[in-house]
Structure 1
Amino acid sequence: MTQYQAFRVELKDRVAHVAIHRPEKINAMNAAFWDEIVDIFRWVDETDEARVVVLSGDGQHFSAGIDLQLLAQAATQLGDDVGRNADRLRRQILKLQASFNAVDECCKPVIAAIQGYCLGGAIDLIAACDMRYCTLDAQFSIKEIDMGMAADVGTLQRLPRIIGDGMMRELAYTGRMVDGREAQAIGLVNRTYADRGELTDAVQALASEIAAKSPIAIRGTKQMIRYMRDHRVDDGLEYIATWNAAMLQSADLKVAMAAHMSKQKPDFAD
């Protein structure tokens, strides 16, 4: 498996474990991070054995967000022409957005396991995941407002669909910290756990449960959920009818029915 500078990646029992691996830098997102995450999630998409992803951060914290050195480097590349500066910055922002779009568009479910700091760009990242779980002492903040900028890599676009428009505005305008308990109360995370060990065990159990399901059914379910985020109900019904016209012919349906009738656990092909 490819060795990465900013990540530690492992595939075990059909679960891809993707960990941000810069604990000495609070898992800040450096230049390598943004390039490698695209490559990692392309690999997940193309690897049939990988049925679900657990995304975490090594060390005491999930991530402190974008590496400030990366921002400083971008500032040094600006010249005197406003138009050319704007074009250069726009292309850079779109490239960063594509990194988290790769997570959002992954055809496998992505589960975020969060402890410690989850700040700035890390909020953009977890908003692109399917589900989020954290420790009680986790700390969340849309930190960009305190840096004199608007979040531009997905938080303001995805978070309203997760926690609602009003709460998103409150957090985006103030940049205040939200702990694990409040994160669960507002729907940012599904559940909280006392410590890192409990979090890891619970997320692994959930990932294993999902990995045991029909990969065809899981893929179709995620695709329909993503599609409905931006479409009307009648569009979604038409799409699922067309999708399932093909997918209901999968052998997985027969395997599931046979297992149900015999009260056995089904074993689906990758």
Structure 2
Amino acid sequence: MEEKYETLEILQNSPNSGVFNLILNRPSVRNALSLDFFTEFPKALNALDQNPNAAAIVLTGAGDHFCAGIDLKSLKDIFRNYSGDRGRSGERLRRQIKFMQDAITAIERCRKPVIAAIHGACIGGGIDIVTACDVRYCTRDAFFSVKEVDLGITADLGTLQRLPGIIGLGNTMELAITSRRFSGQEAKELGLVSQVFASKEELAEGVRNIAEGIGGKSPLAVSGTKAVLLRSRELSLEQGLDYVATWNSSMLLSDDMTQAISAQIQKKKPVFAKL
């Protein structure tokens, strides 16, 4: 029986589609992230990762916005629980932060590609989420803000670690210390998103087509490309080349390669086994 979530919803594009939509589902509060989200999100991603019918995941938000960041009530609840001995309170708070970080990092642990489809607000924790995604698209009216300094916080769920690799250190520094709002078009110019769509409807259709295209490719090749790119962030060129050589020595001799080459020669669509 499929698990039910309080903060999320999972929908398959169609019965024969390998694309699954993972929807942030608290539209009444602009999909602000409650504490429940940080428990449910990695569970949902793991379920999709283990689902052989899932080839690609589209992450989006219900209602008018993608995500307004962490729920301020939840933030207050976190700090209300820390009193008494400062050392022990600090140790518990560190574990809480690490737990929340791990929920976002679950996007990178997922073998399946995770594509962010962003509309409306993408603020604070929303940017933590999308920077962990593999590909990002948005609408023309989307707006973004690395908002944490306005709350007296240093962003701690991944934006300061991942965003510089996407848009550069200087751009990240400026956005993070000013917390200014920037548009979907500027996000495209910075390289945060790959394409800007005119409306939420066009975004949904465009990303669905992109995801279906990815879902039709070799799942071993797609998951391998994701894994190698993420691992290579931490490696020198020589180490990265060695890593991909080791990876392909175990993955290259697969039925997927045979099927892909045969389909190219015969000019037909390849059919790959599920992952």
- TM-score norm. by structure 2 comes to 0.96
Bigger CA drift: 246-255 or 160-169? 246-255
The farther-off stretch of 146-155 and 240-249 is: 240-249
Distance 1:246 1:116 in 2: 43
Are 1:8 and 2:14 an aligned pair? no
Q: How does 1:136-175 map to 2 (within 5 A)?
A: 136-175=140-179
Matched, 1:177 2:181: yes
Q: How does 1:1-270 map onto structure 2 within 5 Å? A: 1-12=2-13, 13-270=17-274
Deviation at 1:49, TM superposition (A): 1.5
The one-letter code sitting in structure 2 at the alignment partner of 1:90 is R
1:210 is paired with a residue whose SS is helix
Work out the CA distance in 2 between the residues paired with 1:73 and 1:57.
24
Unpaired segments ≥5 residues, structure 1: none
Aligned partner of 1:225: which letter? L
1:5 deviates by: 0.5
Q: Secondary structure in 2 aligned to 1:64?
A: coil
SS at match of 1:134: strand
Deviations 1:102-121 (A, max 9, x none): 01221111100000000011
Instruction: Give the distance between the partners of 2:72 and 2:42, measured in 1 at CA.
Output: 21
Matching residue's letter, 2:12: L
1:70-96 superposed Cα distances (whole Å, 9 cap, x missing partner): 111112112132111111110110000
% of aligned pairs identical?
44
CA RMSD of aligned residues (A): 0.8
Q: Residue 145 of structure 1: SS of its match in structure 2?
A: helix
Query: Could you tell me how far apart the structure 2 residues matched to 1:43 and 1:75 are?
Result: 31
1:114-156 alpha-carbon deviations (Å, 9 max, x no partner): 0000001110000000011001111100110100110000000
Instruction: Tell me the amino acid that sits aligned with residue 242 of structure 1.
Output: T
Residues 176-218 of structure 1: CA deviation (Å, up to 9, x unaligned): 0011110100011111011101100110000000000000111
CA distance in 2, matches of 1:51, 1:229: 24
Report the alpha carbon displacement of residue 48 of structure 1 after superposing the two structures with TM: 1.9
Q: List gaps (5 residues or longer) in structure 2.
A: none
Paired amino acid for 2:70: I
Matches of 1:69 and 1:39, distance apart in 2: 23
Post-superposition offset of 1:247: 1.2
Q: Distance in 1 between matches of 2:63 and 2:259?
A: 41
Deviation at 1:223, TM superposition (A): 0.9
User: 1:7 corresponds to which letter in structure 2?
Assistant: L
